[in-house]
Amino acid sequence: MKVLLICPSGRPAVGSLADTLPLSNVALLGQSLVEYWLTHLAQSGVKEVLILADDRPEAVRTLVAGGVRWGLAVTVLQESRELTPAQALLKYEKELDPATAQNSVILMDYLPGLPEYPLFASYSEFFAALLAWLPRANTPDRVGPHEVTPNVWSGLHSRISPEAKLRAPCWLGKNVFLGAGAIVGPASIVEDGAFIEPGATIVNSLIGPNTFVGRFAEIVDSFALGSTLLNWKTGSSISVPDPFLLCALRPARLSPRVSLFARLTELYSRNKEDVHELWKHLLLNKEG
């Protein structure tokens, strides 16, 4: 059986999500949309998948790597624009089994099994879809995420202070650092590689991959994506100029005004343990 997946192209309503990656590759509880779909299709007995991508198809091609990980034969085809399912069916009908063709073309604008939760119509609907997916995110092929208490998940190599508070439902990805007195949840997601300093509060919010949240910061009803803070209820966003409060940990995205070395030096003057943990966190992510 062969299935045709259509990658979503630009969606103005959630434009910030696709700043650095195509929407098909954006992190959703530690994996991307296309990865979840390939897992679902492999478990459904599909053997071959064609992926149509017009937004940065090379990034999609690199991520799926021919489908070897799933035991699938996956080909990424470049399109000049996003096709509708009807257009894709008409264009590629010879590639599909006529008996199942109508059900073999999927526009990836929702997570498998959750068509009632559209991902890209607004930031609020995107967040609602992630929370609905949270109990299903630990798919059978994944290694590492485990449920530490009911409706609280944590990934591999995460360092969670015994003095931190996790309030269900919430998800912490792999290589996450959570300092003493920090609060995560309810209804919160901390993606892979994030570093949350002591005393920070994250409620009803999403912390993006490799994002630093400073000491005693309060993130409520928002997405923190590197130095961008976006209110998912209103869609309004700001770029936080203070890397001591919020920033990306990737060197290429650090504020040019304050270097990583300066950040670590200031941290060291306040708390030697924090700076040691941040160094270890950065080194672990680099090795990973």
SS3 label, residue 132? helix
Query: pTM value?
Result: 0.87
User: Are 126 and 159 in a shared domain?
Assistant: no
Question: With the C-alpha atoms ordered 75, 80, 81, 87, is the resulting torsion angle positive or negative?
Answer: negative
The pLDDT of residue 181:
97
The pLDDT of residue 255:
34
Domain with 169 in it: 147-287
Closest CA to 31 of 265, 192, 205: 192
Residue with tokens 């923190």: 224
User: Are 114 and 209 in a shared domain?
Assistant: no
Domain boundary among 136, 161, 179: 136
CATH number at residue 219: 2.160.10.20
The pLDDT of residue 253:
36
Q: Quickly list H helices, the chain.
A: 33-43, 57-64, 85-92, 123-133, 260-270, 272-287
Q: Do 228 and 15 contact (CB within 8 A), yes or no?
A: no
Average pLDDT along the chain, 288 residues, taken 10 residues at a time: 94 94 96 98 96 97 97 97 96 87 92 98 98 95 91 95 97 97 98 97 98 97 97 96 91 42 51 58 59
Closest CA to 34 of 103, 108, 88: 108
Q: Which two tokens stand for residue 5?
A: 């997946």
The pLDDT of residue 254:
36
